[in-house]
Structure 1
Amino acid sequence: MPRSGSAARKLPKRPASALAERWTTVDGVDVFYRESATPVDTPTMMHVHGFGLSGRYLLPTAELLRDEFHTLVPDLPGFGRSARPPKPLDVPGLAHAAARFLDDRGVETATLVGNSMGCPVICEFAYHYPERIDRAILVSPAGGRHNQPLQRAMQQLARDGLREPPALVSVATPDYLRFGVPSTVRMFRALTRYPSLDRLLALRIPTLVVLGSRDPLMPGPERVREIAQKTDNHVLVVVIEGAAHAINFSNPGELANVIRLFMADKPIVDDPQSPGDAHSYEIHRGTLHPPSSAA
């Protein structure tokens, strides 16, 4: 992976989606990102990737939402095609980098959509920049005690790999190889020190949590619902039956449908445009969220 300040800004040979592929510089570090052609006065939605990965696996869902939101999908510093910063970033460092990336794009506020490790990054972003986040969408929010120690997390990832679409392998493998073993160990240690649950319960914005019923990295829906009930917040918990961990890649139609309904404060119903085994349903709706009977 190129170091900070690298002049080697190569774009992929073939675009991975309908989003434009671009480079910028954040704090002296080359950052690769993808962006929709939607007018900049459209509400911004930024997609935040997971552990060891780039934003590429988030593109199936991001692409479906590109006409409705000014869509940004960065590779955070140290991940994917982006350069490594001089000092490896922990969760707070990644949250600050995300804020400065939005500064670079001239974005004041945004809805943030995260998968896996991207969810703690969003929670930390909301902790430091509450005035800059409109809504939080936490898809498969891993990184807590359920994923510790590292050996257990690796076993969970191995089981999840057997449940994901085979096409994910060709997307994720180059990202993991770029990230490397030392970075994996360092980032895992940073996640174990991060107060994920405290930050989640401290959120004071409309928050959507999306779980896959076949995700081995997440506790069961009952445990998630128990946690959600500890805060009087705009927390809406939705299960996509049949999905595993990388929902943004494996079930983009169902997830995009849930996101649209959440953003419009409408009841969660299954997406008739995404037929198959997967279907979506609510398991918890916070008291401050509009009632499910809302039009």
Structure 2
Amino acid sequence: MKGAVATDVEAGGLRGRMYASRATPAVRAEAPAESPTIVLIHGIGVSHRYLVRLHQAMARMADTISIDLPGFGSTPRPDRQLMVADQAAFIHDVLDKAGVGPRVLVGHSMGAQFVLEAALQRPDQVPQVVLMGPVVDVRRRTLPRQMLALAQDAVLYETPGSNALVFSDYLRCGPLWYLKELRVMMNYRTEERIRGLVTPVMVLRGASDPIATGEWCRILTRRAPAGTLVEVPGSGHVVQHTGTAQVVDAISSFTGLPGSGAPEQVLNRQ
């Protein structure tokens, strides 16, 4: 990733990779001493690569980190199945080792499960959490329905570029690890775990996303003690790649960072 420092990281016998970017000197000079770091977490089968546009845009306003979790991207495959809580603990452990203080956690798809669990584990360290395209819709918790929604998204709502990033990462991940973690994703009850969240949460989706549907995201927003829903028109599931400016605007507004300059009317806030 251009401009980011890549570092191999390890915690609890698990290995991943961290990509860190510092905010511009002018932003750092004006920011409060305890300004949180933006931490971006990918979903199942993929890596930091489909988060690059969002990472680079956020890094203009705040210190920003993307993490390739154990088993994904080019990181080594663990010798055991990892639960959502394991990945959440790994996120905190590697950030602690890197000296990162308060952290705004932004997770996409299964990454939304990881950051939700991480916010539950360490609410004192997470001032806000963002769930982008969260899974798994309680009304569609079967593999055939999830596969159909993924196919619809790829064919109807994604660009050739976003599809190339996602499906090439699926090949790098490999079917064995993907299927092992898919069972974990399908069994995690996002709609129940979010009830215990004390951290303010923004649920963010592409308005055309057939995986994280509007009704499902409204369910999550209502169940969160402090929830906000934002929809980005014209985007599908990989909203951070196809609607980057709007996503940056939503995150900066939610967290109190300087605005991205994206026009307010492109977002549907509820």
Task: Give the TM-score taking structure 2 as reference length.
Answer: 0.88
Using the alignment, how far apart are the partners of 1:27 and 1:42 within structure 2?
28
- Is the contact between residue 146 and residue 219 of structure 1 (CA under 8 Å) also seen in structure 2? no
The one-letter code matched in structure 1 to 2:43 is G
Secondary structure of the 1:73 match is: strand
Q: Deviations over 1:5-38 (max 9, x none)?
A: xxxxxxxxxxx33322232333344322211033
1:235 to 224, 227, 245: 227
Letter in 2 for 1:260: S
Superposed displacement of residue 77, structure 1? 0.6
Instruction: Tell me the secondary structure at the aligned position of residue 68 of structure 1.
Output: coil
Looking at structure 1, the residues matched to 121 and 149 of structure 2 have their Cα atoms a distance apart, in angstroms, of 31
The residue aligned with 2:39 is 46
Residue type matched to 1:27 in 2? G
Seq. identity, %: 26
Number of the residue aligned with 1:5: none
Residue number in structure 2 paired with 1:205: 199
Change (3 A) 1:248 1:125: same
CA RMSD after TM alignment: 2.4
Bigger RCO (CA 8 Å, 6+ sep): 2
Q: Which residue of 2 aligns with 1:101?
A: 94
Q: Which residue of 1 aligns with 2:22?
A: 37
**Distance of 2:217 and 2:168 partners within structure 1:** 32
1:264 is aligned to 256
Q: Which runs of 5 or more residues in structure 1 are unaligned?
A: 1-15, 284-295
Question: In the TM superposition, what is the alpha-carbon distance from 1:193 to its structure 2 partner?
Answer: 2.0
Q: What is the TM-score of this pair, normalised by structure 1?
A: 0.81
CA deviations on 1:83-138 (whole Å, 9 max, x unpaired) are 12232212111111111111221123200011110111111112222222111011
Structure 1 residues 106 and 245 mapped into 2: Cα distance closer, same or farther (>3 Å)?
A: same
Q: Give 1 or 2 for the bigger CA radius of gyration.
A: 1
- How many Å separate the matches in 1 of 2:238 and 2:49? 12
- Provide the residue aligned with 2:52 in structure 1: 59
Structure 2: any 5+ residue segments left out of the alignment? none
Aligned residue identity for 1:271: A
Tell me whether 1:219 sits opposite 2:231 in the alignment: no
Change (3 A) 1:27 1:215: same
1:130-187 Cα offsets, whole Å, 9 max, x none, are 2221110111111242442112111111111121111123322331012222222221
CA contact (8 A) 1:91 1:124 kept: yes
The structure-2 alpha-carbon separation of the partners of 1:226 and 1:199, relative to structure 1 and needing over 3 Å to count, comes to closer
Give, in whole Å, the separation in 2 of the partners of 1:199 and 1:158: 28
More helix per residue: 2
Q: What is the aligned counterpart of 2:169 among 161, 175, 184?
A: 175
Deviation at 1:42, TM superposition (A): 4.5
| Corresponding residue for residue 108 of structure 2 | 115
